[in-house]
Amino acid sequence: MRTALVIGTGLIGTSAALALASRGVAVHLADHDPAQARTAAALGAGSDEAPEGPVDLCVVAVPP
């Protein structure tokens, strides 16, 4: 697995992104609040830019 998209950068989404990034996966972050995605990116969870193409894994970490 090389790329992942994490939708929702709260506690669970950011934790999942940090775990993936620590294993060398290129993680892209998305959130309805861009400031949340920027904060997660600043913590090292990935990039808040949209992926250029398909990703290998998508984690949806949003409230039901």
Prediction pTM value: 0.94
Q: What is the reported pLDDT for 15? A: 98
Q: What is the reported pLDDT for 1? A: 84
Tokens 């984690």 appear where? 59
Listed by start position, the domains of the chain span: 3-60
CB atoms closer than 10 angstroms to residue 46: 25
Report the C-alpha gap between 5 and 48 in whole angstroms.
10
pLDDT < 70: residue spans in the chain = none
Report the C-alpha gap between 33 and 29 in whole angstroms.
11
Q: Residue 60 carries which side chain, given as an amino acid letter?
A: V
3-state SS, residue 2 = coil
